Structure 1
Amino acid sequence: MRLLVTGACGYKGSVLVPKLLETGHTVVAYDIQWFGQFLPEHENLTVVQGDVRFFDTSLLNGIDAIIHLASVANDPCGDLDPKLTWEISALATMQLADNAARAGIKRFIYASSGSVYGIKEEEQVTEDLELLPISEYNKTKMVAERVLLSYADQMCVQIVRPATVCGVSPRMRLDVSVNMLTMQAITNGKITVFGGQQVRPNIHIDDIARLYIFLLDNPNVTGVYNAGFENLKIVEIAERIAAKIPCEIEVTPSNDPRSYRVNSDRILAAGFKPEKSVDDAITEVIASYQRRDLRDEDRWYNLRWMENMAKSA
């Protein structure tokens, strides 16, 4: 298939696109490239630098399916400029969906977020629970989901609500829990855990990439799917890291009330099986650092990098 991948140069896209190329797809990778461009050269890859708010609809010519990853990622970055967040993460998604439908594209895969549920007291958070998003980032994801589902009679709509992603990517992120805590252990010999009893669902970056490919291969699997296969307390993540790289764990008070266990039985029942774990991600981050492939740099922290861009603008 000929695929359009938006946000293709981001944390997930930089792992997903090479896998798509390996499986024989042709890819148009669209990204504003705020955080750089780390995709490999390939005869079946076209990289287009652009702002999804001002998308050139001619790029849809010949496209069979869209994987829409582009958004302002995570709560702090979304709150940095709420107007920009709504324009990129909600309005641009609505425009892309409309243009895709007009162009006759029949497949649309959307990367939403497990954070759309907000604070939940239920032991298992399933796709049927009410969405009560808290932040601008969460709210834009919910709105984008609803817009896309309104096109379900015109194209195959597949929505993924990923848990917190972990593991190594060419466009690394060190502001997600497992990666961040692992880097703290490596560089400081100490992990600082705020609260610690909050439960977070996790998914390895290779598995989220494989899930998008699974959906491409299974157009009958439509609708909304959670994707998080390890529900762990933050302090449990720290303990797993400390088992691999000796370090001190300091627990301090937290005002973050978010704690929930994502249930992903629906996507498991559809036939998808995860292959990697949080432990694998920890091991890979440590190995990448020891090989000197990875360093603790500002560009791997979205909020820091966006604030630096704003200062230099």
Structure 2
Amino acid sequence: MNLFVTGHRGYIGAHLVELLKSAGHQVTGCDLNLFEGCEWGPIVTPDIELTKDVRDLTEYDLEGHDAVCHLAAISNDPMGDLDPELTLSVNRDASIAVAKLAKRAGVGRYLFSGSCSVYGKGEKLDLEETDGLNPLTAYAQSKIETERDVSPLADDGFSPVYLRNATAYGHSPMLRIDLVVNNLLGSALSYNEIRIKSDGSPWRPLIHCRDIARAFVAMAEAPREVVHNQAINIGGNSENYQVRDVGDMVQRLLPDATVAYTGEVGEDPRNYRVKFDKLNRLLPDFQLEYNLERGMEELHRQMVDKGFNRADFEGDRYVRLRTLSGRLQKLAAA
């Protein structure tokens, strides 16, 4: 197949390009390269690479592709809150526009990178796709509105799928430490202290970033009738954890580190434990390669081998919000 990947130089996109090419697919990548210089390791390049804002894509760019894997976004809640209007412009408006362009260009499948954060303050535990959505941030709202507005485009020739990804973590050539697991591990290595900013009670479904990329490959290759126009939680039932559980697991890796509940963010209203039965039912052959323990051990080895230190933890390079803020300020001053 010939696949078009937006955000291919991102945390998940770097894995996805490698996996697609390893599976024998042709890959076109499109990325604004906003985080140039933030690489953690070598990145596999697509067959064709466009350095372009997804808001500037044309029908011509998408012609000849079998599927679009749409990853490009302002990538999490804190970044979304930095500029809610920018978040809605990129995450919602551009996502809907890309879907419309793909349909006009004859692309058969549109895979949208959504999020379990749409459940927000969960009304109950063990949330399924049919349960109520309770978004607490512009980021989560943008994901819901994209699903809502792309769904009517579905027809016999155009098949959208909405991957509601669990919270990502783990090693990637485009490392991020602004994710809860990576952040707690980085804190332990930097300060010998595992700094938990809430009371540690909120639930999060967790998934290794490479497993999210694997899910995109599986959705691209799945029979149309299995996944057509459906929202699907991406993760594993055994991979729901409270934040304090993550801290305890970090401490088992680094027993000299202490756990500190700083309380600086107060009570975190985002609390959702999620079920992934639908994914298991639709794609029974798809299984996660990583559980949290294995993923953390791998990331710990990578961080130690590369000499990750306090300067890395406190710097801009691996924290998307800091990098984006700095670059937006430079653009505004130009």
**TM range, normalised to the smaller chain?**
over 0.9
Determine if the alignment matches structure 1 residue 280 to structure 2 residue 298.
no
Q: Answer whether contact 1:215 1:221 (CA < 8 A) is retained.
A: no
Match of 1:127 in 2: 129
2:316 to 276, 280, 298: 298
Amino acid at match of 2:248: E
Tell me: CA distance 1:185–1:41, structure 2 relative to 1, closer, same or farther (3 Å): closer
Report the CA distance between 1:132 and its aligned residue.
Answer: 2.1
- Match among 48, 73, 84 for residue 75 of structure 2: 73
Match of 1:243 among 247, 252, 255: 252
SS in 1 for 2:122: coil
Q: Taking structure 1 as the reference length, what is the TM-score of the superposition? A: 0.95
* Matched ranges for 1:1-313 at <5 A: 1-36=1-36, 40=43, 45-153=47-155, 154-193=157-196, 194-218=198-222, 219-222=224-227, 223-229=230-236, 230-246=239-255, 247-253=257-263, 254-270=266-282, 271=284, 272-292=286-306, 295-296=312-313, 297-313=315-331
Aligned partner letter, 1:309: R
For normalisation by structure 2, the TM-score amounts to: 0.89
Deviation at 1:291, TM superposition (A): 1.2
Identify unmatched segments of 5+ residues in structure 1.
Answer: none
- Percent of aligned pairs with the same amino acid: 32
C-alpha root-mean-square deviation of aligned residues, in Å?
1.6
Conservation of the 8 A alpha-carbon contact between 2:64 and 2:106: no
Deviations 1:129-154 (A, max 9, x none): 12221211111111111122112214
Contact 2:108 2:159 in 1 (8 A): yes
The aligned length equals 312
Task: Give the deviation of 1:41 after TM superposition.
Answer: 5.4
8 Å Cα contact 1:71/1:88 also seen in 2:
yes
Q: Is the 8 A contact 1:158 1:221 kept in 2?
A: no
Q: Which amino acid aligns with 1:228?
A: G
Letter paired with 2:221: D
Deviations 1:15-34 (A, max 9, x none): 11111100001111101111
3-state SS, counterpart of residue 126 of structure 2: coil
Amino acid at match of 2:242: K
| TM superposition shift of 1:310 | 2.2
Check the 8 A contact 1:67/1:109 in 2, yes or no: yes
Contact 1:191 1:249 in 2 (8 A): yes
Q: Structure 2 unaligned runs (5+)? A: none
